[in-house]
Amino acid sequence: MDKEQKKAVMLLKSLILHYHGLDDDEREILELAAERLDSRDELDWANQFISEDYLSAFERSRDFFAKTIAKITKEEKLTHLKDAWEENHQKGYVTEMETTAMINLSKDWQVEKEFLEVIQN
């Protein structure tokens, strides 16, 4: 995975976990993901990206994803969404807003049908 793809993956994870503020459990989930993917710098970048303007972070992220995620395979897109979904579940719950955000991204990434199958199981 190249640096831009790592940025996109960490932005996805951070964006979803920041949806209602970032608590200690969510911060730990992000830290572990960054460690696993060797992407600490990319996580810092993603968190800075979000903190620049929380209200516009989702829309700005969609623009960034359109430039980066579009370059990867459908299977990779689905894997990244599935990983973010599963990591979000680690905190014990997933809100309707988080779910809606991920479904909207899956639609943008043209993997909506496949992602809906993942979340229904």
- Cβ neighbors of 81 (< 8 A, separation 6 or more) are 12, 102, 105, 106, 109, 111, 115, 118
Summarize pLDDT for 47-95 with one digit per residue, the tens. Answer: 999 999 999 999 999 999 999 998 899 999 999 999 999 999 998 888 9
Read off the pTM: 0.93
Domain extent listing, the chain: 3-120
> Looking at residue 109, what is its pLDDT?
96
Domain 3-120 has CATH 3.30.420: no
Summarize pLDDT for 4-24 with one digit per residue, the tens. Answer: 999 999 999 999 999 877 889
Q: Torsion-angle region of residue 35: left (phi > 0), alpha (psi -120 to 50) or beta?
A: alpha
Lowest mean pLDDT among 37-51, 85-99, 101-115: 85-99
CA distances, 40 to each of 6, 10, 62 (Å): 10, 9, 21
* CB-side neighbour CA atoms (13 Å) of 48: 7
Altogether, the residues listed in the chain come to a count of 121
